[in-house]
Amino acid sequence: MTTSNEGVQVERQGAVLHITLDRPKANAINTHVSRALARAFIELRDTPALRVGIITGGGGKFFSAGWDLKAAAEGESVTADHGPGGFGGITELFTLDKPVIAAVNGLAVGGGFEVALACDLIIAAEHAAFFLPEPGLGIIPDSGGVLRLPRVLPRHIAHEMLLTGRRMPAREAHGWGLVNQVVPAADLRQAALDMAARIAGNAPLAVQAIKQIVRGSETLGVAQAYEAMRAGRYAAYDRMLASADAHEGVAAYAEGRAPVWRTM
Same domain, 152 and 220: no
Residue 110 in domain: yes
In terms of domains, do 157 and 170 share one? yes
Q: In what order do the strands lie in the sheet with 121-125?
A: 2-5, 8-13, 16-21, 52-57, 100-104, 121-125, 181-183
Rounded distance between C-alpha atoms, residue 163 and residue 154, angstroms: 14
Q: How many CA atoms lie within 13 A of 123 on its CB side?
A: 21
Instruction: Per-residue pLDDT tens, the chain, 264 aa: give them.
Output: 678 788 999 999 999 999 999 999 999 999 999 999 999 999 999 999 999 999 999 999 999 999 998 888 888 887 889 999 999 999 999 999 999 999 999 999 999 999 999 999 999 999 999 999 999 999 999 999 999 999 999 999 999 999 999 999 999 999 999 999 999 999 999 999 999 999 999 999 999 999 999 999 999 999 999 999 999 999 999 999 999 999 999 999 999 999 999 887
Q: For residues 85 and 80, what is the distance between their CA atoms, to the nearest angstrom?
A: 13
263, part of any domain: no
Per-residue pLDDT, 36: 97
0.85 exceeded by pTM: yes
Q: Output b/e per residue, 100-122; b: 16+ Cβ within 10 A.
A: bbbbbbbbbbbbbbbbbbbbbbb
Q: Do 193 and 248 fall into the same domain?
A: no
**Sign, CA torsion 39/99/192/196:** negative
pLDDT (0 to 100) of residue 76 = 84
Catalytic-role residue among 43, 74, 134, 218? 134
Residue 10 placed within a domain: yes
Residues 147 and 228 in one domain: no
Active site residue 43: no
Q: For residues 206 and 133, what is the distance between their CA atoms, to the nearest angstrom?
A: 38
Flag whether 264 is in a domain: no
Same domain, 95 and 135: yes
Q: Say how many domains are in the chain.
A: 2
Question: What pLDDT is recorded for position 3?
Answer: 80
Verify that 32 and 154 share a domain, yes or no.
yes
CATH number at residue 18: 3.90.226.10
Residue 1: the pLDDT is 62
* Cβ neighbours around 244 below 10 Å, total: 12
Confirm whether 260 is domain-assigned: no
pLDDT at 85 (0 to 100): 96
Say yes or no: 109 and 184 in one domain. Answer: yes
Has residue 19 been placed in a domain? yes
Please indicate, yes or no, whether residues 148 and 161 belong to a single structural domain of this protein.
Answer: yes
Same domain for 211 and 167: no
Which residue range(s) make up the domain with 243?
A: 204-255
Would residue 218 show up in a list of annotated catalytic residues for this protein?
no
**Three-point CA angle 40, 113, 135, nearest 5°:** 130
Task: Give the chain's radius of gyration (CA, Å).
Answer: 19
> Which one from 92, 114, 126, 227 is the annotated catalytic residue?
114
- Last residue of a domain, which of 179, 200, 221? 200
Do residues 168 and 248 both lie within one domain?
Answer: no
Would 262 be classed as within a structural domain?
no
Residue 224 counted as domain residue:
yes
Q: Please check whether residues 187 and 235 belong to one and the same domain.
A: no
User: Which of 165, 182, 200 is at the close of a domain?
Assistant: 200
Domain match, 208 and 78 both? no
Integer angstrom CA distances of residue 76 from 32, 41, 62, 112: 11, 23, 22, 17
What b/e readout covers 201-240, taking b as 16+ CB neighbours within 10 angstroms?
ebbbbbbbbbbbbeebbeeeeeeebeebbeeeebebbebb
